[in-house]
Structure 1
Amino acid sequence: MTGTPDRGGPAPYISARTGQFRYFDQQLGRPDWPAKRVLDFGGNVGNLLLDQACTIRHGEYWCLDVIPQAVEEGRRRYPDATFLHYDRYNFEYNPSGTKQLPVPDLGRFDVIVAQSVFNHTSKAEMRELVGQLRSFLTDDGVLAFTFIDPYFKPPPGWARAEEWPDLDNLRWRLASARWFQEPGMDVDALAAKATSAPLTWATLVNNEDFFLDSGDDWCREGEERTHYMVFCTEGHMRSIYPDATVLPPVPPDRFSCAVLRRRA
């Protein structure tokens, strides 16, 4: 449960991504950040604070992440903020963690954000974690999290050049995996399998097999897994959370966004 890692960083899974603050600032309509208590769920080293335009007060910023090295680095970079290790099991990021460990109650938050978290969980785990996070919102608080719509294709001039801007999210992620991890993978065959049926929720496991709308059936014990990526259409996310506001990506990011309020 962490933001997309930069595996070439100084320590395992230390993120080098930037732009998180700008993204959520746009998607949430530019809230009064200095007045907000903020939880960055899966915030890695706290890159939400890295943007020079970020106005979140460090003393009101909390970060939970399953990667202990990221938490330690975040504490070093931002000593006035609060970084806590969430020792929950994740076979890719925290294989020694505790399965189904509840999110710790850290009080109430005005804003909870999660970028590139639920494209690394099953649907059942997303439902569980989102339900817990909503319970930690203030009465007028807001939870915003990203997800990857497989069909989104950025308009000309939008995406970063290194992201194959002429490809939709599904083919871009497959092409990236082939380029950086699996030079022998058959992108066309995988894409054909993924689109052989109406694609609403799909999980790409080990860059070699798609499980389509299968819930958690692919999470079988004893099978070797190294990584996985989840895709969910905007329409399907609306069906999962009918009370959510589902927003399309904002340039230059390819992530869609679901925005939820505290349940009555």
Structure 2
Amino acid sequence: MTETPGRGSAAPYISARTGQFRYFDRQLGRPGWPAKRVLDFGGNVGNLLLDPECTIRHGHYWCLDVIPEAVEEGRRRYPDATFLHYDRYNFEYNPGGTRRLPVPDLGRFDVILAQSVFSHTSKAEMRELVAQLRTFLTDDGVLAFTFIDPYFKPPPGWARAEEWPDLDNLRWRLASARRWQEPGMDVEALEAEATSARITWATLVNNEDFVLDSGGDWCREGEERTHYMVFCTEEHMRSVYPDADVLPPVQPERFSCAVLRRQP
């Protein structure tokens, strides 16, 4: 489950995004990757391995993703790595999958990474999946996942030029959606709604509705639409996971990061 610029479930999504390795390498303090057994949860085609500085051994790399075409392409690109299809239901990426399918037990991992996964799930599903993933960590292993703080605004010179560097994450995402996906969307009304609500956790559905934090799984069967994106403040993520290290973004990425250890 990897972030897509507005594509629904009608076509497979093969990610072209890069920079994942450099991001997690910095957030995790440059661990000794060659010795690490790594699970890339929602890793699409394995772009984590594309970075020329990446020192993860392909034989120590596992990718688990809900998009079968991405898994097949990953296998083609990296024959020494392990790519597996996780046939869990996701209305945007895998509408034919099995609802609440448990994460398969692939053994224990030193590092589990999830880039742009929980920006496409409900809070209830995030809690469920994170709890399962933590059981697959080694005793000193770490799980690191990204999330989007709506109010993070990059300092001057930080963001990529095409990312509206003078806008915070929420306004950048809205402006981008109007430009590339929904020319008629009422960005100003959505901004006003978000401002009046003071978001902690909220979901932008189909670039037209905000669903504020209900504490549960708002997206029930029959309510699915085309796509959605989740925003969560760093402060709120700390309240969800009090034992996490919640880290701010690192240049040039706008994602915050939560780092968790195996539960006792």
Residues 1:64 and 2:64 are matched in the alignment: yes
Mark the runs of 5 or more structure 1 residues left unpaired by the alignment: none
Which residue in 1 is equivalent to 2:18?
A: 18
SS class of match (2:231): strand
Which residue in 1 is equivalent to 2:50?
A: 50
CA-CA distance at 1:216 after TM superposition: 4.1
CA-CA distance at 1:209 after TM superposition: 0.3
Q: Distance in 2 between the 1:200 and 1:95 partners?
A: 28
Offset from partner CA, 1:155-198 (integer Å, 9 cap, x none): 01000011111100000011111111100001111011012123
Work out whether residues 12 and 93 of structure 2, in 8 Å CA contact, stay in contact via their aligned partners in 1: no
Residues 1:186 and 2:206 are matched in the alignment: no
Work out whether residues 5 and 16 of structure 1, in 8 Å CA contact, stay in contact via their aligned partners in 2: no
Work out whether residues 145 and 259 of structure 2, in 8 Å CA contact, stay in contact via their aligned partners in 1: yes
Which residues of 2 match residues 87-126 of structure 1 at below 5 A? 87-126=87-126
Mark the CA change 1:224 to 1:193 in structure 2 (over 3 Å): closer, same or farther. Answer: same
Q: Could you tell me the TM-score, scaled by structure 2's length? A: 0.96
Q: Distance in 1 between the 2:158 and 2:197 partners?
A: 29
Q: Would you say how many aligned residue pairs link Structure 1 and Structure 2?
A: 260
Q: Distance in 2 between the 1:13 and 1:244 partners?
A: 31
Q: Distance in 2 between the 1:73 and 1:114 partners?
A: 19
Q: Distance in 2 between the 1:160 and 1:30 partners?
A: 23
Offset from partner CA, 1:47-85 (integer Å, 9 cap, x none): 000000000000000000000000000000000000000
Which residue in 1 is equivalent to 2:246?
A: 246
Mark the runs of 5 or more structure 2 residues left unpaired by the alignment: none
Which residue in 2 is equivalent to 1:223?
A: 223
Q: Runs of 4 or more off by more than 6 Å in structure 1?
A: none
Indicate the RMSD between aligned Cα atoms, in angstroms: 1.1
Residues 1:130 and 2:95 are matched in the alignment: no
Which residues of 2 match residues 134-153 of structure 1 at below 5 A? 134-153=134-153
Amino acid at match of 1:121: T
Work out whether residues 14 and 69 of structure 1, in 8 Å CA contact, stay in contact via their aligned partners in 2: yes
Q: Distance in 2 between the 1:235 and 1:33 partners?
A: 30
Residues 1:201 and 2:201 are matched in the alignment: yes
Work out whether residues 194 and 212 of structure 1, in 8 Å CA contact, stay in contact via their aligned partners in 2: no
Work out whether residues 123 and 217 of structure 2, in 8 Å CA contact, stay in contact via their aligned partners in 1: no
Work out whether residues 45 and 71 of structure 1, in 8 Å CA contact, stay in contact via their aligned partners in 2: yes
Q: Distance in 1 between the 2:17 and 2:244 partners?
A: 26
CA-CA distance at 1:253 after TM superposition: 0.2
Which residues of 2 match residues 76-91 of structure 1 at below 5 A? 76-91=76-91
Amino acid at match of 2:182: E
Work out whether residues 124 and 215 of structure 1, in 8 Å CA contact, stay in contact via their aligned partners in 2: yes
Q: Could you tell me the TM-score, scaled by structure 1's length? A: 0.96
Sequence identity percentage: 87
Amino acid at match of 1:259: V
Q: Distance in 1 between the 2:163 and 2:192 partners?
A: 21
Which residue in 2 is equivalent to 1:168?
A: 168
Residues 1:4 and 2:3 are matched in the alignment: yes
Offset from partner CA, 1:178-237 (integer Å, 9 cap, x none): 111100001111011012123100000011000111234641332350000000000000
Q: Distance in 1 between the 2:231 and 2:71 partners?
A: 27
Q: Distance in 2 between the 1:146 and 1:166 partners?
A: 22
**Bigger mean CA deviation after superposition, 214-223 or 76-85:** 214-223
Q: Distance in 2 between the 1:226 and 1:90 partners?
A: 11
Which residue in 1 is equivalent to 2:159?
A: 159
Work out whether residues 122 and 217 of structure 2, in 8 Å CA contact, stay in contact via their aligned partners in 1: no
Q: Distance in 2 between the 1:165 and 1:26 partners?
A: 22
